[in-house]
Structure 1
Amino acid sequence: KVQSLMSQHGDLEHHLASLEQKLQKDLHGVEEALVARLPAPPPVGVVTAELAERLATLRKELREEIAAEAALRSTELAERDRAVGDLQEQVAGLGREAKDISARVDSPQSPLADQLQQLQDDLRGAEARVEQLCGTMPGEELPRLERAVASIRDDVAVCSSDQAAVRRQHLELEARIAAVAGQTLAISSGLREQQAEQAEQAINAA
């Protein structure tokens, strides 16, 4: 019985091998039929011309995009250049204003300095007169003189506070000048970076 089974097994293997050969032959025939139905490929010259035309179109589109981007960047850079110029003019104006205030505050010929000096002189003179006449003036005259001295002291305090206010204004102007100068420097740095980037893009495009 074992020999019979082995014999049957051998027959099956032979039958399977025959079927495999037949299938391979049929598959090859089908492939040949499909290939025969395919259209003939275009000549090599036609394919090369089509590729060259497409490549030229792509290059043209790329150049147009680069030119449009460069024009846009140039417009933006021009606007930022104008903004930097405006900021520089503003910084220059603030600097002139600050110098003018410093000159008015610190100059011995400034109205504030003259007024303060005059009031201080008046105060010293009034105080000297009070000390000199304290023991000789009638009782009703002394309060009047003391009130005059107090009034002069008030004027000196007002003038001093005016001068302090001018100095505060000067410090505020210096802070504004520093802020605008910082903005100008930042914008200038940004412009330099964009110009370098645009130049690099132009080189890469070329």
Structure 2
Amino acid sequence: MKYVFAVLSRLSLTLALAFSLPAAFAANWQPQLDKFLAQQLQPAVAEFSWQLYSAEPVAKALEQCQQPLFAAPQQLHKVAGRISVQVHCAESVSPLTLHLQVDAWVDYYVADRRLTARQPITTQDLRLQRGNLARLPTDIITDAAALQGQQLKRNLAAGSAVRSSLLEPVEVITYQDQVKVVYRGPGFAIEQVGVALQAGAIGDTIRVRLQQRQIILAEVTGRGQVIMSH
């Protein structure tokens, strides 16, 4: 048998009970479970609901649970979908296990039109769409900040979700680019010109050939600029 509860968003956490349960059963632990799930869900979640499965074996014990303490039996890698949660009661030595279906809705970015590989991506290329985390890839993008300085690894069809696994840093230096090489030490800085032997994004370490034909490793700090590694 299945007991179904609907939880309306972080704003209200109002509950609608789909099946009739004893008042004590409904009152004592639902708010604590709501709070626990809200803490586990990512901030981008706009609203969520949950269903409790196979409640009969634990219903009687939960009625007597005056100070329920909820915890994940192990590190939760995801909160949406089918999960198990333990509830500890002062009246019981062993924790009870609740089996839940959690549905959480978020606004995530999808391509507004067909996008091509190696194209720098901006919010102008995208639109927000609401979906259920339980049915979405785990690496969807919900924060525009995660798009800064990123480009697509491959083509992306219109309406497809933008995922972190599809993104890579925009290359600001390409092979054979002339670059400014900076070397800094205590109280001084030296600059010279070199040629990039590798492409790279900001933060990457690439090989650079100096005018004296010496090859060094340098960190990419901006478009056409590197700093010599110590």
Do the structures match in fold with TM over 0.5?
no
Structure with a larger share of its residues in helix: 1
Instruction: Indicate the TM-score class for this superposition, using the shorter chain for normalisation.
Output: under 0.3
Q: Which has the higher contact order (CA 8 A, sep 6+)?
A: 1
